Amino acid sequence: MIVEDRVRVVIAEDSVLLREGLTRLLTDRGHDVVAGVGDGEALIKTITDLAAGDGLPDVVVADVRMPPTHTDEGVRAAVRLRRDHPELGVLVLSQYVEEQYATELLAGSSRGVGYLLKDRVAEVREFVDAVVRVARGGTALDPEVVAQLLGRSRKQDVLAGLTPREREVLGLMAEGRTNSAIARQLVVSDGAVEKHVSNIFLKLGLSPSDGDHRRVLAVLTYLRS
């Protein structure tokens, strides 16, 4: 099967069944899974070897918790890889929303990052779309992650200048949705969404010179507070 958006993927997941399942999901849709590993150290070694040989993959899909302690090995490896290879997309999977890990992962570069709950993998199309989006430099945040981080932000009054509708639009932007997708979700016109997005940029101090990354920067504004 040939797909226009074919991406090269490395999967880091200690559950063999889940790792094989993710591999099947992606390969069935025409993507290349170039390696599968079961712990953070193996992930770093694999990416280092690929960088020195065939070239970096487009994206790493990694579990937050992996051996030996099953605490934060996966996300630590992901943060290190983002530091060492800023062009590498990283999509982290987690059983639960863990704000500390989500914030740490998202606090660096504003390109090519995602954080999804494992339940989202069951929604095959959304999962594969998220992998491709992160591989291409976009973002993919689970709605539950967005909800919790936005909730924390409200307490810190970071987004005090936004209206309730603008907050809602920002949350959908954080999930990686386009303006058209947001319009369909909120049952409003594309023009109305564009106006809300422009207001968000203005209120968060993001100028046109920030280019296409303003959408990501708008989301990261409250994550970095």
- Low-confidence stretches of the chain (pLDDT beneath 50): 1-2, 154-155, 225
Q: What is the model's pLDDT at position 28?
A: 93
Q: What is the model's pLDDT at position 135?
A: 94
Q: What is the model's pLDDT at position 158?
A: 62
> What token pair was written down for 32?
């290349």
> What token pair was written down for 199?
């207001």
Q: What is the model's pLDDT at position 175?
A: 75
Q: What is the model's pLDDT at position 193?
A: 93
Q: What is the model's pLDDT at position 139?
A: 83
Q: What is the model's pLDDT at position 157?
A: 58
pTM: 0.68
Long-range CB contacts (< 8 A, 24+ apart) of 220-223? 220/106, 220/107, 220/110, 221/158, 222/149, 222/150, 222/153, 222/156, 222/158, 222/159, 223/102, 223/103, 223/106, 223/107, 223/149, 223/153
Q: What is the model's pLDDT at position 66?
A: 86
Q: What is the model's pLDDT at position 108?
A: 62
